[in-house]
């Protein structure tokens, strides 16, 4: 359940709270990606210590490995991965279309071959919901067709029709317990199709609504246009989720337009590649300039990486390919993101989001 607490005075930014069977989530919020049941290189305790309230996992990857039976025997995904907070699971539609060796879309669902060993599987809208019920995720996503960019209008129109039909079928699956089901607004870069998709999903009725098919190579300003156009068509008392978007600037711009939650691999993937996020912008710790700097990654950060280690030491870890370096920067980056979202929420609470955004970007080297 989502509760809208207040809106910013000058923008569409919103302060809210999600209530789930595994705890509450303050919004706006960012979900670190734990695709296969783990946020890469980090323990659940470390993820919690960073200030994370909710994580994302992926039904496609968990379906292939370890599979439904093992997770069911473990008592569900929360127990299996030792995470007692809320979990959102993506349906795996994006992975089916991007990773599967062969993929054939049908009215009933999608036939594909595993990217791991070539085994054949068939996902239906119903089977994906049933699998996510086995996982026990707090928020489940419907199966949708992920549209490439660019794509012709006729193709996108047919795709929206298919995705809407799948959404209707997903909604008819009986849901046990307190799990929530979100619809996904597709429509590519066409405003008329976004409108059509949004109106149809709202008519079906979901616990929350996501914008899919963005951050797939389109110009940044086009993404903002789609977000600004689509969000007002969604129920204001429901959660608004922008899927797969997670750069700092994109989060700020999208919060301003009324988005509540985000997910992306940006903080952890960058951390594994030696990039740290700081109040003044991104830092590539492998650069020679950090070899002798005995200061924290980010002076204002309270994470254990910044409290206990120096730039010089972490530079050394990356130079000698020690895994600890990847772990420390991943921990720092998700802490940075959690703190950013906390500061955004405070700014909305005080009706000064635009002031906060301007001040933040003035110091942040994009």
Q: What DSSP string runs through 268-308?
A: HHHHHTTEEEETTEEEETTSGGGTT--S-SSTT--SHHHHH
**Do residues 210 and 339 share a domain?**
no
> Does residue 24 surpass a pLDDT of 80?
yes
Q: What is the pLDDT of residues 227-254, one digit of tens each?
A: 999 999 999 999 999 999 999 999 999 9
Q: CA separation (Å) from 235 to 143, 180, 241, 292?
A: 21, 16, 12, 53
Range of lowest pLDDT (87-101, 233-247, 331-345):
87-101
Residues 273 and 259 in one domain: no
User: Looking at 212, 242, 264, which one is the last position of a domain?
Assistant: 264
Instruction: Identify whether residues 11 and 156 lie together within a single domain.
Output: yes
> Do 118 and 232 belong together in one domain?
yes
Distance CA 7, CA 348 (A): 7
Residue with tokens 């959660």: 239
| pLDDT band of 366, cuts 50, 70, 90 | confident
On whether both 160 and 14 belong to a single domain, the answer is yes
| Given the residues 8, 90, 138, 250, the one annotated as active site | 90
Please say if the pLDDT value at position 68 is more than 80: yes
pLDDT of residue 163: 97
Q: How many distinct structural domains can be found in the chain?
A: 2
Note whether 25 and 73 are same-domain residues: yes
- One of 8, 260, 263, 298 is an active-site residue; which one? 263
Whichever domain contains 256, its CATH number is: 3.20.20.105
Quote the pLDDT of residue 251: 98
- Final residue in a domain of this structure, among 264, 280, 315: 264
Confidence of residue 80 (pLDDT cuts 50, 70, 90): very high
Structure tokens at 142: 């419907």
More confident residue, 103 or 248: 248
Pair 148, 277 in one domain? no
Q: Report the run of H or E that residue 251 belongs to, with start and end.
A: helix 248-256
Q: pLDDT band for 127, please (50, 70, 90 cuts).
A: very high
User: Is 90 a known active-site residue?
Assistant: yes
| Local structure of 66: helix, strand or coil | coil
Instruction: Show the 3-state SS of 226-244.
Output: HHHHHHHHCCCCCEEEECC
Contacts of 315 (CB under 8 A, 6+ apart): 285, 286, 287, 290, 291, 293
Residue 97: predicted pLDDT: 77
> Do residues 167 and 296 both lie within one domain?
no
Shared domain for 32 and 157, answered yes or no, is yes
What is the arithmetic mean of pLDDT over 332-336? 98
Q: What percent of the chain stands above pLDDT 90? A: 93
Same-domain status, 278 and 259: no
> Is residue 62 pLDDT above 80, yes or no?
yes
Q: Do 242 and 288 belong to one domain?
A: no
Q: Which of 210, 242, 264 is the last residue of a domain?
A: 264
Q: What is the mean pLDDT of residues 107-125?
A: 93
10 in catalytic set: no
Do 160 and 240 fall into the same domain? yes
Half-sphere exposure of 181 (CA within 13 A, CB side): 26
Mean pLDDT of the chain, nearest integer = 96
Q: Which tens digit of pLDDT belongs to each residue from 167-178?
A: 999 999 999 889
**21: Cβ–Cβ under 8 A, 6 or more apart, which residues?**
138, 177, 178, 179
Residue 96: pLDDT band (50, 70, 90) is: confident
Mean pLDDT of 252-266: 98
Sheet of 110-113, strands arranged across: 103-105, 110-113, 120-123
Task: Provide the residue count of the chain.
Answer: 366
Q: Where in the sequence is the domain holding 126, given as residue range(s)?
A: 2-264
pTM of the model: 0.97
């Amino acid at each position: 359940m989502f509760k809208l607490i207040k809106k910013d005075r000058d923008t569409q930014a919103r302060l809210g709270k999600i209530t789930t069977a595994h705890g509450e989530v303050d919004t706006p919020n960012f979900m670190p990606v734990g695709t296969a049941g783990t946020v890469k290189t980090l323990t659940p305790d470390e993820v919690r210590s960073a200030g994370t309230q909710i994580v994302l996992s992926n039904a496609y990857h968990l379906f292939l490995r370890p599979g439904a039976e093992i997770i069911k025997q473990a008592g569900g995904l929360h127990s299996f991965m030792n995470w007692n907070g809320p979990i959102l699971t993506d349906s795996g539609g994006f992975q089916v279309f991007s990773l599967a060796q062969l993929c054939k879309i049908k009215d009933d669902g999608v036939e594909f071959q595993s990217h791991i060993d070539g085994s054949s599987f068939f996902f239906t809208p119903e089977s994906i919901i049933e699998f996510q019920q086995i996982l026990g995720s707090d928020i489940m996503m419907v199966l949708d067709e992920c549209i490439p960019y660019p794509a012709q209008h006729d193709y996108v129109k047919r795709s929206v029709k298919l995705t809407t039909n799948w959404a209707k079928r997903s909604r008819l699956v009986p849901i046990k317990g307190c799990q929530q089901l979100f619809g996904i607004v597709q429509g590519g870069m066409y405003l008329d199709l976004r409108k059509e998709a949004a109106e149809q999903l709202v008519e079906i009725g979901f616990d929350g609504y996501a914008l899919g098919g963005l951050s797939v190579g389109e110009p940044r300003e086009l993404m903002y246009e789609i977000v600004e156009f689509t969000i007002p068509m969604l129920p204001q008392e429901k959660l608004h989720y922008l899927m797969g978007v997670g750069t700092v600037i994109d989060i700020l711009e999208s919060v301003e337009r009324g988005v509540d939650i985000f997910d992306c691999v940006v903080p952890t993937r960058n951390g594994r590649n030696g990039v740290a996020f700081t109040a003044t912008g991104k830092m590539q710790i492998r650069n020679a300039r950090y070899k002798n700097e005995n200061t924290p990654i980010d002076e204002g950060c309270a994470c254990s990486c910044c409290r206990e280690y120096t730039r010089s030491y972490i530079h050394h870890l990356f130079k000698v390919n020690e895994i600890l370096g990847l772990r420390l920067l991943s921990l720092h980056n998700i802490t940075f993101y959690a703190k950013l979202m906390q500061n955004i929420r405070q700014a909305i609470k005080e009706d000064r989001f635009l002031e906060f955004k301007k001040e933040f970007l003035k110091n942040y080297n994009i």
